[in-house]
């Protein structure tokens, strides 16, 4: 199989029809087929993006050359693959970004583990790919930093290659960058839901108004459109025609009346008709100006909308993100609709909007047809950018197996009181990987009352512990008794980690206390399996409920005994202060 990529401008039917002796193919709104279907015999199948699938049947080599020539003169990334029976040429959404990222994984082929050194070059490739995709620089910086932090902090997962591991890390960060979850449209609890659309000229507002009405009708909502673009008379006619096309009434009052007044009248009409959702199209401008903003503010005041959505053109890249920010500051918006994602957009807008503006992309336009509007799914988008669904699910499964094995191993260690500093570090890092401490604490039931200051303190403590554990020798990590027995060792760890001896002593004591507490908790669990969070919480409660002086005293004495047992060769139980 031969694969090649090249860069070019926008692939449209015009390019092909000019060069090819074939009739216009039908554009289908199908998702990317797993494998492009190759017509029988020697044939050529060509598809652009994930939405359009074009098929030609031809046996002539000159035809293939012509197709290739046309593609080379335009601007998307194309993958050319020789398959038995024909040539497959693929122009993919964000193709350039995808192939840029591919360069990064390829640099890790043959490596056994991700290290600071061997990820340096792939990180440069990722940075370059994102910048070329027109993602804003601060976003790129934060993204690359987050990836490298995770890449070097990730342990080896059995059977998973470092390049696959990096794909997974990048995927998860991409999803996070784009907002994580799908951001649903909000509907009013009573009365009609009002959606106000805003945006610059030509971004696709009028088209989106009708597309949105159709989309909502399919969800069972009864809609009405208001034609508020009084500056481009054709926009009103356009909306009326599109409204007819999707079977939605359009309120139009001509161009001689202020948009705010049209909004007021339109809303009254919608109430009369008892519609569920009113969508108002507004005028766009070539640039943001004060008159436009004031007019929009006035319309917004009259409508009191549930959603104010800024329509932005995906092809404007990071500029789209800047626009969302400006509109949000000026008029206050609830989200964005990204149009023309089927074009040669390089990905900058999709990747930057949420991170730069704090506002989610709620919907995306993927074509000129009325059906081409859909919710924005960050995970699906990341999957499309990476184009490596198989690798992702494989890594997820391997991680799951690893987690189970780790959990069993940990359980054994806890039961035999062998929980050491390696486990301690692993657990700490696992928590760190789940997100910031504040998020993790927020997820634990009953932990809501923890103050931000306490969380910051806890995060600081985790960093401090990490520094001290990293300064220990492998032997000391495995046998904390060595540190408990030797002030000299504790002194060395303190010096190497930049902490005080007292802090090191506290950490060692903490580990022994933890052993005892964990063992106690395990004893409370039924069946001896690792606790789910809720069980753990119950266990902690039942521990706390025990009358003072019984369990607690017992626990304290057990803690002391445990410490004494494990440090049996230690000269004195107060070894932490003693000289060696
Ligand atoms: N390929 C593609 N074209 C789109 C999409 N959305 C809108 N368009 C096209 O973009 C062009 C402009 O769309 P309009 O809806 O007229 O834009 P507008 O923002 O209302 O323009 P003004 O009224 O001038 O402000 C039209 O040709 C649409 O068909 C999309 O998702 N994909």
- The minimum-distance atom of ligand 1 relative to the CA of 366 is 31
Q: How far apart are the CA of 320 and the centre of ligand 1, in A?
A: 15
CA of 18 to the centre of ligand 1 (A): 24
Instruction: Assign 3-state DSSP to the chain and report helix, strand, coil percentages, each to 5.
Output: 55, 10, 35
323 CB near ligand 1 (under 6 Å) = no
Quick: pLDDT tens for 189-222.
Answer: 988 999 999 999 889 999 999 999 999 999 999 9
Where do we find the tokens 């990317």? 32
**How far apart are alpha carbons 103 and 92 in whole angstroms?**
16
277-282 and 223-228 strand pairing: parallel
Closest CA to 279 of 314, 318, 242, 305: 305
Q: Helix (H, G, I), strand (E, B), or coil: what is residue 419?
A: coil
Q: Is 335 in the pocket of ligand 1 (CB under 6 A)?
A: no
pLDDT exceeds cutoff 70 at 353: yes
| Whether pLDDT at 476 is above 70 | yes
Mean pLDDT of the chain: 71
Max avg pLDDT among 88-102, 302-316, 515-529, 541-555? 302-316
| 372-414 pLDDT tens trace | 899 998 988 888 787 765 566 566 666 666 666 666 666 666 6
For residues 93-109, b (16+ Cβ closer than 10 Å) or e, as one string? Answer: bbbbbbbbbbbbbebbe
313 ligand 1 Cβ < 6 A: no
Q: 235 CB less than 6 Å from ligand 1?
A: yes
| Count of other CB atoms within 10 angstroms of residue 470 | 13
pLDDT of 55 over the 70 cut: no
Ligand 1, closest atom to CA 285?
25
Say what the ipTM of the complex is.
0.95
């Amino acid at each position: 199989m031969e694969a090649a990529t090249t860069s070019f401008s926008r692939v449209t039917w015009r390019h092909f029809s000019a060069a090819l002796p074939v009739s216009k193919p039908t554009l289908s709104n199908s998702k990317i087929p797993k494998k492009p279907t190759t017509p029988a015999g020697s044939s050529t199948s060509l598809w652009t993006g994930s939405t359009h699938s074009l098929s030609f049947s031809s046996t002539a080599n000159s035809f293939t050359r012509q197709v290739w020539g046309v593609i080379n003169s335009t601007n998307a990334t194309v993958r050319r693959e020789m398959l038995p029976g024909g040539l497959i040429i693929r122009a993919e959404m964000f193709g350039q970004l995808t192939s840029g990222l591919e360069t990064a994984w390829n640099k890790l082929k043959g490596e056994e583990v991700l290290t600071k050194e061997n990820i340096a070059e792939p990180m440069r490739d990722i940075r370059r790919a994102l910048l070329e995709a027109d993602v804003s620089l601060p976003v790129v910086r934060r993204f690359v930093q987050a990836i490298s932090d995770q890449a070097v902090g990730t342990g080896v997962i059995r059977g998973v290659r470092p390049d696959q591991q990096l794909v997974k890390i990048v995927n998860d960060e991409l999803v996070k960058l784009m907002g994580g979850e799908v951001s649903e449209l909000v509907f009013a609890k009573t009365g009609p839901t009002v959606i106000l659309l805003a945006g610059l000229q030509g971004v696709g507002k009028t088209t989106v108004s009708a597309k949105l009405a159709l989309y909502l009708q399919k969800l069972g909502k009864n809609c009405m459109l208001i034609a508020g673009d009084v500056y481009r008379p054709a926009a009103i006619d356009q909306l009326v025609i599109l409204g007819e096309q999707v079977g939605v009434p359009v309120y139009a009052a001509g161009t001689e009346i202020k948009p705010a007044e049209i909004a007021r009248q339109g809303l009254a009409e919608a109430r009369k008709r008892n519609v569920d959702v009113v969508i108002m199209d507004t005028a766009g401008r070539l640039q943001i100006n004060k008159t436009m903003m004031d007019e929009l503010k006035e319309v917004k005041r009259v409508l009191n909308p549930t959603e104010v959505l800024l329509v932005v053109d995906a092809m404007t890249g990071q500029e789209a993100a800047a626009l969302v920010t400006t509109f949000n500051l000026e008029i206050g918006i609830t989200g964005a609709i990204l149009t023309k994602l089927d074009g040669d957009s390089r990905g900058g807008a999709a990747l930057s909007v949420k991170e730069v503006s704090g506002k989610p992309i709620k919907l995306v336009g993927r074509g000129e047809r009325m059906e081409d509007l859909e919710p924005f799914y960050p995970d699906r988008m990341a999957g499309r950018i990476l184009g490596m669904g198989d690798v992702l699910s494989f890594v997820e499964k391997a991680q799951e197996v690893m987690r189970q094995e780790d959990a069993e191993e940990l359980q054994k260690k806890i039961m035999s009181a062998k929980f050491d500093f390696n486990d301690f570090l692993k657990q700490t890092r696992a928590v760190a990987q789940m997100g910031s401490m504040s998020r993790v604490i927020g997820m634990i039931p009953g932990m809501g009352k923890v103050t931000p200051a306490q969380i910051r303190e806890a995060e600081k403590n985790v960093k401090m512990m990490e520094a001290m554990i990293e300064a220990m020798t492998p032997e000391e990590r495995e046998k904390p008794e060595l540190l408990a027995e030797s002030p000299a060792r504790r002194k060395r760890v303190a010096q190497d980690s930049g902490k005080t001896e007292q802090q090191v002593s506290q950490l060692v004591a903490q580990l022994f206390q933890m052993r005892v507490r964990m063992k106690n908790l395990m004893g409370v669990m039924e069946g001896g399996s690792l606790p789910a969070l809720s069980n753990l919480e119950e266990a902690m409660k039942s521990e706390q409920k025990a009358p003072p002086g019984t369990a607690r005293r017992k626990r304290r004495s057990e803690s002391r005994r445990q410490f004494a047992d494990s440090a049996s060769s230690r000269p004195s139980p107060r070894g932490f202060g003693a000289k060696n």
